[in-house]
Structure 1
């Protein structure tokens, strides 16, 4: 079990090098290709496609009785990462946007199945701790990818096009290595427990009241947590007026991912001890991100915003994912993760489009206010969930 647990971490690490490297400069690259500001918000459509695919992946995982088909969803999902090196070949922002969408489809297809397997192989060490350790390994890749892009953009600072193209091309190597690692994981854990010989019915009846309350709180949190595609576009504008260097867009994302890695394990431990109380961490940190981004803008405040964004994402990727496995039982986990992911995707779309439109008309104070309102509402909803859990003990 532990061998598979570590291998899943390595697979995610390699995948993160690819898509987090590309994601770190997604808005900046569209800006470089002369895309309008709304294009940064449209990047969030890719997140919706990703999360819709997670729902499909969850349904397929729920229905399949074949271990090979179960694992093939992961293999196909990671193979789609090969869309990222193709970004090096395009000169038009719309084609680049489509390639980002394609990568997101693969991410969505593989995620529910991977999380189901991860929840099984991490039970011996605690789900919160397991997802936390996985996130730490995962974030090593999330730091590595932006580092590659940041270094190449800094090295080619007078020829940014060369820096972008070289970076995207190199990301093809870990994409191929991840598929090799999947084969190793399959050999060592060919029969996940979530697969039964009986055909499974697709139903939401077993999810329970606490799941839907949790889902409402989590989608509210993510709707208020600024989308990095939008932040990246904004940072590229700041680079054009020399507040930061263009290469710092990738390095700011690197700092965010490092912060994510630092918080993942501790917050996982807090979750194992305090359960839903740990969910409050993300909305509290998310409130302050737009404050540091838009008020008295300077390099230090941007790095502080980046750290807060990474801490917030650490909560999303660790505590939120672990919570699903604790709220629902084995038989309902694939569809529960699928519904959760789809709802999160639409939250990101609303977030990205609304904030991009507000930025386009320069209503930065409105962005700060909307974030505050949403995160306070999320804290209230989580408070209801915490109270219900206490009453059920």
Structure 2
């Protein structure tokens, strides 16, 4: 194949860039335990949830450069206001004598920085052990570590952060490869703007998870109690009729503003059954079935799995004994350094792509993807 030949039509590298949707991945243990994020991180839970969705999307778009981002990048993908995140964290306002954490010479005092620091210090603690069945073993997770490290590229004159660089946990990277739900993330920032955004985002993720589960089982409908969905959305409404009305408003908002193809209807519970809820919501995702960009393409799982496994193998054979001062994960540093073993990475990428899709990409294309990411930003 000639070096200047274009990638085949239908490849994962080209398709999603022209789509109205972007299918990302989220670790199942996180998506199934959103309330545990709330319990583990309190008022920072919304930012923690946004951060997990944000970095997971970066992993899918740019595996070779996902670790670096700006606050502007985060705001674009989360729907948050930059000024709000740059303010002093409420904890330090309420506790003016509290010690401000300092890491590599930077004070983590803003709303975003302190939430990020807490992700480095704390795990998501699951209320009960989360069991994951894989092909080879049964894994029991009691907590979910998020970050290994945070590095900052500062503007020395103004001391303002220009670029964040992070190292994610091994569990997170493993989950992205083998333990995940697919979620549409282009609609995520749209539904989070304004009051109540954190609750709407939690409900959005559960609906996305449900869509993944149903379509994987060749089903299209599922029922949830109004109370369950209202709790996810953090609706503080006591009377049933008002709770139902508030939930209806959010679901309509998802369909109109979040570009989320689904339908729903309210159904009454069966009073003959014990502990039956009065009202249920029947969700119907049949309108998603024929939307190509709402399903991962055949070969995607094999592609990412083969790619990471082989990259790790090569790294371990060449650099496993390398130690770098103040570096917590040498593999992630090597992976996201476009100048390190570029030819080797390109060969691995070409091989993984062919194995997954039975299609050839050129060395020039592979190197471009390594340097610029799989998709146009």
Normalised by the shorter chain, which TM-score bucket? under 0.3
Structure number with the bigger relative contact order (C-alpha 8 A, sep ≥ 6) is 1
- TM-score normalized by the length of structure 2: 0.25
The structure number with the bigger radius of gyration is 2
- TM-score normalized by the length of structure 1: 0.25
Q: Give the structure with the larger helix fraction.
A: 1
